[in-house]
Amino acid sequence: MGLFGKKPSADKIKYRRPDRVERGEFRKQEIAELSMPDTVRIIGESGFRECRSLKRAELSNTLCEIGAYAFRDCDMLENIVMPGEMRYPDGSSGLLGIGCFEGCGLLREIVIPEGVSVIGANAFHNCAALETVTLPRSLHAIRSGAFSGCARLKTLNMPVVPELIAQDAFRDTPCEKQIAAVRKPVLTIMHTSSFGLPEIFQFSAVPRMIGTEQTEGNMTIVLDDVDASRICFRITAYKHAGGSHVVPAGTAARLFYEEYDCAGKTGMQKEELVASYR
């Protein structure tokens, strides 16, 4: 772009496909304002990531998915207009992906649409100016770090308490004590290996879920028993499934550990599953 080049206006943004923003499609582009057509249903991973000139975004009324890191580090974004409802065409819950608004440091208010059942991990992490959040009645889970680091978040409109709120979902916010008083315990299982970043899975640990399968990502568990002191469960679908596990409240417990030589790699490799009930 030359010295006197113009930033793309809202009506000049051209989409590769009418129904979606593809992965990284507008990443780092100098877009000042976004008015998304109602044909768009999905914003793919990193779709508008690091659009550092973006100040205002009006999203599609038919939107059903905001992918991982979709608006991450849009650090001039002050205002975003969400649709009134987010659901897939089959009626299933809309999606707010991991880190989708992480680092949007000027965003002051967000209204999560009805139909959204899960706010992904780190979805609004370090949105330093965020003051007011309105949650929908459809919300079931707020994942790890979802609003952590939102140091000005004082108003949390929460018509119902979601069944699953991660212990650190509101860490370092003025709402932290408010949430601690109402949240229910959560089972967290972390899989670490020498080959990549840790995978974290979280499940509702309330008595009514005993005997019911819960699935997050590629892991499925069944609770066998739960009380204030410990949780008993089985992993029924995962690469390291099998057996029953008992985890005391407030204490991390190793479920699986393996150390081995791996051809072509230096030193010993390891994998482990660790669970906590908090």
Task: Note down pLDDT in tens along the chain; length 278 residues.
Answer: 333 334 444 547 899 999 999 999 999 999 999 999 999 999 999 999 999 999 999 999 999 999 999 999 999 999 999 999 999 999 999 999 999 999 999 999 999 999 999 999 999 999 999 999 999 999 999 999 999 999 999 999 999 999 999 999 999 999 999 999 999 999 999 999 887 888 999 999 999 999 999 999 899 999 999 999 999 999 999 987 778 999 999 999 999 998 887 766 666 788 999 999 99
Positive/negative CA dihedral, 173, 192, 186, 255: negative
- Specify whether the CB–CB gap between 270 and 194 falls below 8 A: yes
* Tokens read off for 200: 């974290």
Identify the pLDDT of residue 6.
Answer: 40
- Specify whether the CB–CB gap between 77 and 107 falls below 8 A: yes
Amino acid at 239: K
Contacts of 2 (CB under 8 A, 6+ apart): none
Whole-number CA gyration radius for the chain: 21
> How many angstroms separate the CA atoms of 194 and 198, rounded?
9
Identify the pLDDT of residue 7.
Answer: 43
**Which fold is adopted by the domain 1-183?**
3.80.10
> How many angstroms separate the CA atoms of 141 and 200, rounded?
14
Identify the pLDDT of residue 273.
Answer: 94
- Specify whether the CB–CB gap between 176 and 170 falls below 8 A: yes
Identify the pLDDT of residue 243.
Answer: 82
Identify the pLDDT of residue 17.
Answer: 96
Identify the pLDDT of residue 265.
Answer: 60
> How many angstroms separate the CA atoms of 232 and 7, rounded?
57
> How many angstroms separate the CA atoms of 49 and 68, rounded?
10
- Specify whether the CB–CB gap between 225 and 235 falls below 8 A: no
Portions of the chain given CATH number 3.80.10.10: 1-183
Identify the pLDDT of residue 197.
Answer: 81
